Amino acid sequence: DTGVSQDPRHKITKRGQNVTFRCDPISEHNRLYWYRQTLGQGPEFLTYFQNEAQLEKSRLLSDRFSAERPKGSFSTLEIQRTEQGDSAMYLCASNTGGRNIQYFGAGTRLSVL
């Protein structure tokens, strides 16, 4: 069990650029979640997948954000035309349906200049 891994750990980009983050969940977990956390605050839910199906999206997820989980394993989160307000830690978590324990990755810290 290698845990939830996220890549990259840090990303610095210029405003207007596109960025993509990857999350590899724990292998037998069928649910995968994305959260966003700004400095000093608690994480906020963005979206979640059950296998390859994206079942819920938060209102926080504007049209510039898209998430995929094509084969029900790893997931990607893309932000198009980044804005300074997108600067945050993006956390991924996974669990097995029916259990309320989510395992979090270490996150990707995005800085938009």
Q: Write down the least CB distance from residue 17 to another protein, Å.
A: 23
- Residue span binding another protein (CB under 8 A) among the ranges 14-22, 63-71, 75-83, 87-95: 87-95
- Residue span binding another protein (CB under 8 A) among the ranges 13-21, 32-40, 63-71, 80-88: 32-40
- State the distance between the two ends of the chain, measured CA to CA, in whole angstroms: 36
> How far is residue 15's CA from residue 51's CA, in Å, rounded to a whole number?
33
70 touches another protein (CB under 8 A): no
The owner of tokens 């596109």 is: 18
> How far is residue 107's CA from residue 36's CA, in Å, rounded to a whole number?
9
User: Which lies closer to another protein via its Cβ, residue 18 or residue 41?
Assistant: 41
Does residue 88 contact residue 72 with C-beta atoms inside 8 Å? no
Does residue 43 contact residue 91 with C-beta atoms inside 8 Å? yes
* Contact residues for another protein, defined by CB under 8 A: 4, 31, 33, 35, 40-45, 48, 50, 55-56, 91, 93, 95, 97, 99-102, 104-107, 109
